[in-house]
Structure 1
């Protein structure tokens, strides 16, 4: 009676290397992700004359190996011209760039409010710049980066007409490596329950926080796992920052 069990164990050991390789093939390398986000910051971020950086978001759909350990910056997004992307941000009435492997947006001025850059790239969910970008490569590496975390009242609010949740659900169905990344916290959300709100993102795609070219964190949060503390505002920030600043 033990013989079949032995064969099952042997078969499992035989298949394990291929299974492990498959898992690794669908996971972004955390050190490479830090370098990719730093590339965005160095090339695309808009900074006003007073030195204040402006909110922006960008997304890529590139060959899978460009998100793994053999990342080569000299071969990365060679079809996209940084100056052309930055110039697109200068027009606040549009502030949208759509390239072959990269899309990017700033905030767009409306009559009564500014439309957030995340919503501009992800909506309408079925016909957005992001959905069009994903059709260009079926199983590559897709990374969405927003300088400041998605706002709770609009982007992560299911009742808002500009929420990004349906778009994230669609993205989940796309093959390949996926990573949703942010750097700073949207200042009006500092005191909100981001532990709960960020789980709305994690329900669809892996969430990361990258703060420098050498420092990225996997935020986790799947199932009953909590969001990593490094992806949440420090406690001292909660007591010193007013949500109305």
Structure 2
């Protein structure tokens, strides 16, 4: 019995210490290529979700791998759809802008996850090829007041839980901190980010430079502080 318990603990600890396939460098390369080819003309809040096969992930998402994987995506259609507040659905990626309503704004990352069980992301993952890893990127960090509000109607963590076939190796990356959250207490923002990171690894990216917002559960302050982040990018 003692051996069975020890074996179970070993298996559990191994699961907990599995290193995610996606690294800062890999996410940075993917984000940089996608920005250069598809999203560089967007100067407002947008989001994309892109999938790669297990083989592509294992090969390190080099530029050659990325170019081959995304060769079927149409830059013109992406721009036309997103600039007209639509949602682009391609072979490997889905892209959305925000959408203004009469009294509020629906953020781009939420639109890619709605409706439950039949969202653009769900539909993308239901088609071949099977996803081995995935990157979810948003121009702005998910807002505390809606996208990360516990039990809120627009909580993207709850939405992500409804997505079938979401790969274990997955990252949520953002370009800059949402301006309204800059006016909130830092502790409140970090607590919301931590809840997201516990479900999908959180990074901040600028072109091909990305950093983890949490390392072994410890927050990386440069992920929030713009000046520290800028110094990091400058080397």
TM-score clears 0.5: yes
> Counterpart in 1 of 2:77?
84
Match status 1:226 vs 2:218 = yes
Match status 1:99 vs 2:90 = yes
**From 54, 76, 96, the counterpart of 1:64:** 54
Residue pairs, 1:51-200, within 5 angstroms: 53-67=43-57, 68-69=59-60, 71=62, 72=64, 73-92=66-85, 95-136=86-127, 137-170=129-162, 174-192=166-184, 193-200=188-195
**How many Å separate the matches in 2 of 1:189 and 1:65?**
38
Match status 1:205 vs 2:169 = no
> Counterpart in 2 of 1:216?
210
Q: Deviations over 1:179-223 (max 9, x none)?
A: 11111111111132321110121121111111232x21122266x
Q: Deviations over 1:64-98 (max 9, x none)?
A: 34345252243131111111101101213xx2111
**How many Å separate the matches in 1 of 2:61 and 2:45?**
30
Residues 88 and 94, structure 2, Cα contact 8 Å, conserved in 1: yes
Cα 1:179–1:74 change in 2 (3 A) is same
> Counterpart in 2 of 1:16?
none
Aligned length: 212
> Counterpart in 2 of 1:240?
none
Cα 1:109–1:23 change in 2 (3 A) is same
CA deviation after TM superposition for structure 1 residue 100, in Å? 1.5
Larger Rg: 1
TM-score (ref. length: structure 1): 0.75
3-state SS of 2:145 partner: coil
Q: Which runs of 5+ in 2 are unaligned?
A: 1-9, 230-235
**How many Å separate the matches in 1 of 2:98 and 2:153?**
16
Residues 64 and 177, structure 1, Cα contact 8 Å, conserved in 2: no
**How many Å separate the matches in 2 of 1:171 and 1:80?**
22
